[in-house]
Amino acid sequence: MNTAPTTHPAVFFDRDGVLIPDSGYPHRDEDLVLIPGAAEAVRRLNSLGYFVVIVTNQSGVARGYFTEAQMNAFNDALVRKLAAKGARIGAVYACPFHKDAEDPAWFHPDHPDRKPNPGMILRAVADHDIDPNRSFLIGDRQSDLEAARRAGMPGFLFEGGDLDRFVRDLLGG
C-alpha cells in the first residue's frame, strides 16, 4: 500500500517587490526586470520539490492603468522569463479587484482574493493539492504575511537584496 503523501509543499511569492521590482503598477515590457537572485531562488525551490506559486494583488486593472489582458500577458511573460532560466512557476493567481476601482466591473469592497485576505492562497492549495503545513509565503508587505497567516502558513518578509540568498537563509543554508 502506498502511504506517500498525496499533497506537496509550495512556496507562494508575491510578485511586485519580490520577484520583480515594484516600479508602481508594473505591466509594460520595460517593467519586466527580475530581482537579483529571483530565478536562482525559484530554481532552488523547484529542485527541493516545492511547487512555486505567484499570488499578486493587481489593482492597476481596477484603477484603469492597464487591462486584465495586459496583466495576464505580463504575468505570462514573467513565467516565460523565469522558465528560460530554468525556474518553474506552477501557477499564477492575480486579484484585480479593489475598493477604489474606476471600472465598476472590478469594484469590490473587500474581495476574498485581495491580500490580506487568503483567497488566492486557499484556491491554489485546493487547485494543486498543496499541503499548507509544509508551505510558506514570501512577500514584501505586511498584507502578504497576513494572507499567509490567514491561510494557515508562515509568511516571511523580503525587504530587498538577493532573493536566492534570502531563500537559502530561510531554508537553513
- Annotated catalytic residue within 14, 113, 140, 144: 14
- Annotated catalytic residue within 16, 113, 140, 144: 16
The crossing angle, in degrees rounded to 10, of helices 38-47 and 68-83 is 70
Q: Based on the residue annotation, tell me whether 14 is a catalytic residue of this protein.
A: yes
Q: Based on the residue annotation, tell me whether 16 is a catalytic residue of this protein.
A: yes
Question: How many whole angstroms separate alpha carbon 62 and alpha carbon 31?
Answer: 19
Which residues are catalytically annotated? 14, 16
